């Protein structure tokens, strides 16, 4: 919506008019055509100081301004014409209003501007709003977190959260306000120090060696001797002597049997 102050001739009317922000198609049976002409330099007290370019037109009745679309920060002269073929041929884009009766007068409705007895109305729209430059997103970082260090590693994986706050334009305040905060994860790595590398060397575990099991064929041989240990038991007789004794014993037994 554009709010504009109305100036008629040399006076300024305290009230303001509110025009719709988009052009609305008007019924062709409307009796009048409202045309807006730009006043270069914006001084409504000096109309026709130079040619006034055509801005827009709309079919309407005397008391209706709905559908008029005006640019911000611009002064216009508004005129009413009869809605007919002559008007539609002259009130067109590219036309210039060079002064009273130029380019044409026979269709111009004088003294009927909204029943106020003036021939033309002058309006100056509000100054254009200068949109501020966008605000760059703000970024905050979380603390780095490290993964477990594996043995014999020379670096360790790291990650942290990144918080990015976006700013969006608010038309009502004509400023950028804080919007959504997006959280992402940044990943990286860090080289280990010499002390960390030394402390995290892989430990080589050597399995224990079992002693060999001796088999019976490998048992030591103990030599046999004819002499027993001196424990009080008489030593055994040699085999030859034992044979003699046995033979003598047998002879004596047979001799006794014959007697």
Distance CA 193, CA 202 (A): 16
Q: What is the mean pLDDT of residues 140-150?
A: 94
The verdict on pTM exceeding 0.75 is no
Q: How confident is the model at residue 12 (pLDDT cuts 50, 70, 90)?
A: very low
Q: What angle do CA 111, 97, 25 make, to 5 degrees?
A: 75
Grouping H, G, I as helix, E, B as strand and the rest as coil, residue 45 is coil
State the pLDDT at residue 27. 43
User: Bridge-partner residues for 161, per DSSP?
Assistant: 185
pLDDT at 248: 59
Instruction: Kindly report which listed range (70-79, 122-131, 248-257) carries the lowest average pLDDT score.
Output: 248-257
- Coil/strand/helix, residue 240: helix
Query: Would you say 68 and 58 are in contact if contact means Cβ atoms under 8 Å apart?
Result: yes
Q: What pLDDT, in 10s, does the model give residues 185-199?
A: 999 999 999 999 999
User: What distances in angstroms separate CA 117 from CA 8, 16, 62, one per listed residue?
Assistant: 10, 18, 12
Using the predicted structure, report yes or no on whether residue 173 has a pLDDT greater than 80: yes
What pLDDT was estimated at residue 213? 76
Rounded to an integer, the average pLDDT of 152-170 is: 95
Q: In the predicted model, what is the mean pLDDT of the chain?
A: 74
Q: What mean pLDDT comes out for the span 43-59?
A: 83
Does the pLDDT value for residue 103 go beyond 70? no
From the list 13, 24, 42, 235, the residue with the least C-alpha distance to 124 is 42
Q: What span, in angstroms and rounded, lies between the C-alpha atoms of 1 and 17?
A: 10
Per-residue pLDDT for 17 more than 50? Answer: no
């Amino acid at each position: 919506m554009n709010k504009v102050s109305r100036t008629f001739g040399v006076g300024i009317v305290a009230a303001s008019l509110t025009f719709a922000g988009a052009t609305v198609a008007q019924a062709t049976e409307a009796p009048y055509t409202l045309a807006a002409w730009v006043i270069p330099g914006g001084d409504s007290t000096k109309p026709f100081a130079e040619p006034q370019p055509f801005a827009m037109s709309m079919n309407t009745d005397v008391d209706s301004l709905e559908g008029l679309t005006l640019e911000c920060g611009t002064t216009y002269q508004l005129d009413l014409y009869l809605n007919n073929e002559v008007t539609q041929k002259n009130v067109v884009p590219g036309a210039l209003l060079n002064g009273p009766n130029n380019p044409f007068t026979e269709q111009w409705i004088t003294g009927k501007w909204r029943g106020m007895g003036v021939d033309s109305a002058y309006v100056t729209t509000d100054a254009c709003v200068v949109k501020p430059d966008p605000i760059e997103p703000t970024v905050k970082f979380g603390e780095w977190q490290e993964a477990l260090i594996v043995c014999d590693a020379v670096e360790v994986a790291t990650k942290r959260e990144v918080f990015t706050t976006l700013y969006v334009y608010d038309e009502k305040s004509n400023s950028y306000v804080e919007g959504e905060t997006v959280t992402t994860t940044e990943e990286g790595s860090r080289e280990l120090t010499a002390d960390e590398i030394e402390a995290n060397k892989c430990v080589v575990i050597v399995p224990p060696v079992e002693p060999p099991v001796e088999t019976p064929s490998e048992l030591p041989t103990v030599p046999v001797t004819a002499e027993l240990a001196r424990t009080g038991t008489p030593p055994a007789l040699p085999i030859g002597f034992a044979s003699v004794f046995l033979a003598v014993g047998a002879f004596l037994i047979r001799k006794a049997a014959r007697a």
